[in-house]
């Protein structure tokens, strides 16, 4: 049971990494060789990646805050 969960989780993580690696490499190459277009696209991609990394942690923080707030009211 535990092995199948860890295999599934590692497959999910690797899928997400591979999904994000392709556009990252292409946009980096555009930034490097076509800076007029690539710089702005690279900055937008960087902001999106930062948001995607921070969003789950912020969601967990909000949910924990709501849970603790509800416990204090009762």
Structure tokens at 5: 């969960």
pLDDT for 72? 65
Cα–Cα distance, 24 to 52 (Å, whole number): 14
Residues of the domain holding 58: 2-73
Provide the whole-model pTM.
Answer: 0.70
Number of domains in the chain: 1
pLDDT in tens, 8-27: 989 999 998 999 999 999 99
Check whether 63 has a pLDDT greater than 70.
yes
- C-alpha distances in Å from residue 13, one per residue of 20, 63, 68: 11, 23, 30
pLDDT digits (tens, 9 = 90+) for 28-39: 999 999 999 999
Say yes or no to pLDDT of 2 above 70: yes
- pLDDT (0 to 100) of residue 45: 95
């Amino acid at each position: 049971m535990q092995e199948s969960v860890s295999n599934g989780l590692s497959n999910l993580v690797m899928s997400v990494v591979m999904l994000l690696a392709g556009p990252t490499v292409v946009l980096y190459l555009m930034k490097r060789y076509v800076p007029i277009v690539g710089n702005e696209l690279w900055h937008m991609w960087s902001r999106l990646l930062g948001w995607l990394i921070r969003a789950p942690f912020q969601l967990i923080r909000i949910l924990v805050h709501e849970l603790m707030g509800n416990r204090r009211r009762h």
